[in-house]
Amino acid sequence: MFGQTSVEHKAYYESVFKLFEPYCTADIKSYLKTWTDKRNGKVYQSLFFATMALPCFNPFREYFYSDGKKIVPSNIDVLLTDIGLAHWIMDDGSKHGKGLHLNVYAFSEEDIKRLTDTLSNKFGLKCSVHTPNGKPRIYVWAESMIQLRAIVKHYMHPTMHYKIDEIN
């Protein structure tokens, strides 16, 4: 398993690395990776680490991958916790107006429906799917943001609160 984020989110990255450090080799370090986006020519830098391949991670691979493709398991409503939702937002969320987008590009329509149903039924959030340029994102409506903040804010790294904070 590996973790990666842009250098702008170093403080959050370090908090995630601390969670996984016991699963890394003793000489593991954060590595800086520089790459060029071929679409626009921009140069980006990101930090990353990799864990050892350990049997304790196998159930997660079985849940979230099928034939090498990312999937949303049928029991996501059981698996997705408040903490998991917080990390999903920190990793793949972005403020959009007074609401929030969650990137779900890698998933099928059926998987996205499963996720929106879980967000609605388990967490009480009003959601819809936006698909600009053919890339789907789950939109958490502005009217659900107070509820979302109450669920996840205390699990989020302070440097990531901007993703769910109210617009001043």
Write down the pTM of the prediction: 0.88
Mean pLDDT per 10-residue run, the chain (168 residues)?
A: 84 90 81 88 89 92 93 97 98 95 96 98 98 93 98 97 84
Quote the pLDDT of residue 92.
94
Contact 92, 135 (CB under 8 A): no
Beta strand 99-103 with 69-70 is: unpaired
Q: 37: how many CB neighbours lie within 10 A of its CB?
A: 9
List phi, psi (to 5°) of 68: 80, 5
**Which 3 state secondary structure label does DSSP give 45?**
strand
Quote the pLDDT of residue 30.
73
CA distance to 69, 91, 127, 140, per residue, from 157 (Å): 29, 11, 24, 20
29/50 Cα distance (integer angstroms): 9
Quote the pLDDT of residue 117.
98
Domain borders along the chain are 1-53, 69-168
Please give the CATH topology (third level) of the domain spanning 69-168: Endonuclease I-creI (3.10.28)
Quote the pLDDT of residue 167.
64
**Which 3 state secondary structure label does DSSP give 49?**
strand
How many residues are there in the chain?
Answer: 168
**Which 3 state secondary structure label does DSSP give 131?**
coil
Quote the pLDDT of residue 62.
93
148 residue type, one letter: L
Quote the pLDDT of residue 47.
87
- In 3D space, the residue among 12, 6, 3 whose CA is nearest the CA of residue 161 turns out to be 12
List phi, psi (to 5°) of 128: -145, 175
Contact 60, 20 (CB under 8 A): no
111/63 Cα distance (integer angstroms): 13
Quote the pLDDT of residue 87.
96
Range list of H helices, the chain: 10-20, 58-64, 76-79, 82-92, 109-121, 145-152
